[in-house]
A and B are shown apart, each in its own frame.
Chain A
Amino acid sequence: MLGFGGEREAVSKVGLTAADLAAARRREPAAVTRVYTAYAPALFRFFLAAVGDRHQAEDLTGNAFLSAIESLPRFRGPVEALGGWLFQIARHDLYDHRRRQARSRLEPLEDNLNEAAVAAGAEDPEELAMARLEGSRVLGALRQLSPDQREVLLLRMAGGLTAPEVAEILGKTTGAVKSLQFRGLASLARVLGLRSPEQAQERPYPSPDSGRLTSQEDEEG
């Protein structure tokens, strides 16, 4: 099993300190590179899972990081809060992107795969597409979750943020985030066929209906 919060571990391995943060504010190349190395992969995965297109995810990552570096002098929090702040920017950028795109949150992966196969010069684009579709099955399953559940899971899994950090970004309580996380993973497991038969008989997982979730979260929050 993979350890979660890997990106945060990567940050700790890089050893971002307050001095690094101060240097990044001054756009010292070494510090900016450290910050980028620490967070850009997570930002890219977050965007990729959200938009389903590699090139768009790359562009969004670059734009979000550039915005973050430009706004870094205004960031007053400790270095430990930098990740959450970066993903707040990323989330806003994602919303702007979606408004611009005015289309589904996840593009049809098949189209992207076909384009990628052609671009890669594969002899059998269908084979390549099938191979990647197997990998994209999980991402495809994300589309069946409610927007709140999907966002929580992306921030947790792709961003490597903790539940309290996600709660701060989304403006929810930690309990509500944990509830969304629980129900989102339950739905994902069901879609992926990971539920054990006895669990299916004993207690169905809650549907991803956002209305129900909201009412439960209110009780918990």
Chain B
Amino acid sequence: MHQPQPNRLHDELDALLDGRPVELTDELAPLVEAADALRLELSAHQLDPEVADRHLERVLGGSALVVPMPTPPRPNGWDLRRRVVAVALAAALVLVPATMASAAALPGQAMYPFKLAIEQLRLASVQWSPAREAGERTRVANERLNEVRDLYELRMYNQLPTAIRALNRAVLAAQVAVAEAREEGEAVSGLADELNRVVNAGVQVVTKVATAAATGSIVGLTGETAAEIQAAVQESPAVKPPPADPAAPPKGSGGTAAPPQPTSAPPPTQGPAPTTPPTQPTAPPTTNPPEPPSSQPPTTTTPPTTDEPPTTPTPPSTQPPDITATPGSIGFGVGGGEDKGGGGDKASHGNAPPTSAPPTTSP
């Protein structure tokens, strides 16, 4: 008796199940009947319409959160990591050379905004630590000082007013940051010393620039630029040279354009300044700029430190600081930046801490 090949039976059964015209043999009939019974059983179970509505509501409800556009496949973890690495590598390839190139940029140069942006990033990255922020702001102040010096040496006088104001803001911000760090219990005596060196050197440099502008001893310096420099110096109490003896006013026309009053004197205290004397002169004399409130007892041997609160509020000093005795070596390191944003805010709190006080030689 001829028996159909198994594969042929399988094909015929499959065709029957699909409704294709195939002869229903006795051998396949019970199988088709079982399939019918199974299908009949399955078809008896219908999805509840309420359940269906719930399913659709669930699916369509989530659609409100989806942008109604075809979305690209979401990268898996490996792709995501590759993208992160690629972006980081590209950023490094761009940022590292740019950072190095911008490190020596001066105000007015193309790379200078990039330098400031990097400084802001560095400041933002250390704001979690008062001590680190104080250190970073001290470095920024030092960098502003270097810029003033470089601008002067490179005879880029037009940028000096801006650079002097930036130095003033950076110093004030650093002083506030150091004071806040000390208030937080951080050990910042070293930073305070460093900042003192920056301040003293700043006073020295600014004094040199102001004197040169006032006396007209700078070749190529126009009267207008000299007046702007003088104005900037007057608006920069943190690095402003002490007023000269009224009996012997400086020669030159530049001095006349400078306003007698500092316009950026520290406002009333808002920020912490633990070493600030409680009683500060609220209205400085018209002839004397406000001295930083940390007037230390006269000394020429021990530089003032922020750890030593002044014992008594001293009247504004009329004596020029001994800018030749105290400035230490000022590093020309990379870093620092103009105090925009946070730095300005800190500076605007006014009330320069005692660390900014240049050592006085008043008798």
A residues in contact (CB < 8 Å) with B: 1-6, 22, 25-29, 32-33, 36, 40-41, 44-45, 48-49, 54, 58, 61-62, 65-66, 69-70, 73-74, 135-139, 142, 153, 156-158, 162-163, 175, 178-179, 181-182, 185-186, 188-189, 192, 194-196, 198-199, 203, 216, 220
A58 and B51: CB pair below 8 A?
Answer: yes
In angstroms, Cα B59 to Cα A50, docked, is: 24
B32 and A1: CB pair below 8 A?
Answer: yes
Assess whether B35 is interfacial by the CB under 8 Å rule: yes
Contact partners of A186 in chain B: CB under 8 A: 30-31, 34
Task: Tell me which of B27, B42, B51, B66 contacts A62 (CB under 8 A).
Answer: B51
In angstroms, Cα B44 to Cα A157, docked, is: 13
Closest A residue, CB atoms, query B60:
A29
B43 and A2: CB pair below 8 A?
Answer: yes
Task: Tell me which of A44, A69, A138 contacts B37 (CB under 8 A).
Answer: A138
B52 shortest CB reach to chain A, Å: 6
In angstroms, Cα B33 to Cα A176, docked, is: 22
Assess whether B245 is interfacial by the CB under 8 Å rule: no
A2 and B39: CB pair below 8 A?
Answer: yes
Q: Which B residues between 144 and 166 are near A, CB-CB below 8 angstroms?
A: none
A138 and B56: CB pair below 8 A?
Answer: no
In angstroms, Cα B35 to Cα A3, docked, is: 10
Report B44-72 CB contacts with A as 1/0, cut-off 8 Å: 11111001101110111011001011111
In angstroms, Cα B28 to Cα A196, docked, is: 11
B363 shortest CB reach to chain A, Å: 83
Assess whether B88 is interfacial by the CB under 8 Å rule: no
B34 shortest CB reach to chain A, Å: 4
When A178-B13, A220-B7 are in contact, do A4 and B30 touch as well, CB less than 8 Å? no
Contact partners of B52 in chain A: CB under 8 A: 36, 40
One of B14-22, B217-225, B294-302, B338-346 at the interface: B14-22
Contact partners of A3 in chain B: CB under 8 A: 19
When A2-B43, A142-B38 are in contact, do A185 and B31 touch as well, CB less than 8 Å? yes
A179 and B10: CB pair below 8 A?
Answer: yes
- The B contact surface, by secondary structure, is helix
Contact partners of A5 in chain B: CB under 8 A: 18-19
In angstroms, Cα B39 to Cα A142, docked, is: 12
When A5-B18, A138-B41, A139-B41 are in contact, do A32 and B60 touch as well, CB less than 8 Å? yes
Contact partners of A32 in chain B: CB under 8 A: 56, 59-60, 63
Q: A40-B47, A157-B35, A199-B26 are in contact. List 8 more A-B contacts (CB 8 A).
A: A4-B35, A40-B55, A41-B47, A62-B54, A163-B14, A178-B10, A194-B33, A220-B7
Task: Tell me which of A28, A36, A185, A216 contacts B34 (CB under 8 A).
Answer: A185
Instruction: Please list 8 pairs of residues, one from A and one from B, whose beta carbons are closer than 8 Å in the complex, sorted by A's number.
Output: A2-B40, A22-B70, A40-B52, A45-B42, A135-B41, A153-B35, A179-B10, A199-B30
Assess whether B84 is interfacial by the CB under 8 Å rule: no
B37 shortest CB reach to chain A, Å: 5
Closest A residue, CB atoms, query B40:
A2
A181 and B14: CB pair below 8 A?
Answer: yes
Contact partners of B34 in chain A: CB under 8 A: 185-186, 188-189, 192, 194
Assess whether B73 is interfacial by the CB under 8 Å rule: yes
B56 and A33: CB pair below 8 A?
Answer: yes
Report B61-99 CB contacts with A as 1/0, cut-off 8 Å: 011001011111100000000000000000000000000
Report B325-360 CB contacts with A as 1/0, cut-off 8 Å: 000000000000000000000000000000000000
B239 shortest CB reach to chain A, Å: 62
Contact partners of B41 in chain A: CB under 8 A: 135-139
Contact partners of B31 in chain A: CB under 8 A: 182, 185-186, 189
Closest B residue, CB atoms, query A36:
B56
Contact partners of B47 in chain A: CB under 8 A: 40-41, 44, 58, 61
When A4-B19, A4-B39, A157-B35 are in contact, do A73 and B30 touch as well, CB less than 8 Å? no
Assess whether B9 is interfacial by the CB under 8 Å rule: yes
B70 and A181: CB pair below 8 A?
Answer: no
Closest A residue, CB atoms, query B11:
A178
A158 and B60: CB pair below 8 A?
Answer: no
Closest A residue, CB atoms, query B50:
A58
Contact partners of A203 in chain B: CB under 8 A: 3
B55 and A65: CB pair below 8 A?
Answer: yes
When A138-B37, A178-B14, A199-B27 are in contact, do A26 and B56 touch as well, CB less than 8 Å? no
B49 shortest CB reach to chain A, Å: 11
In angstroms, Cα B7 to Cα A210, docked, is: 18
Report B97-125 CB contacts with A as 1/0, cut-off 8 Å: 00000000000000000000000000000
Contact partners of A198 in chain B: CB under 8 A: 26
In angstroms, Cα B64 to Cα A27, docked, is: 9
B7 shortest CB reach to chain A, Å: 6
B30 and A196: CB pair below 8 A?
Answer: yes
Assess whether B36 is interfacial by the CB under 8 Å rule: yes
A62 and B58: CB pair below 8 A?
Answer: yes
In angstroms, Cα B19 to Cα A198, docked, is: 26
In angstroms, Cα B38 to Cα A33, docked, is: 28
Assess whether B249 is interfacial by the CB under 8 Å rule: no
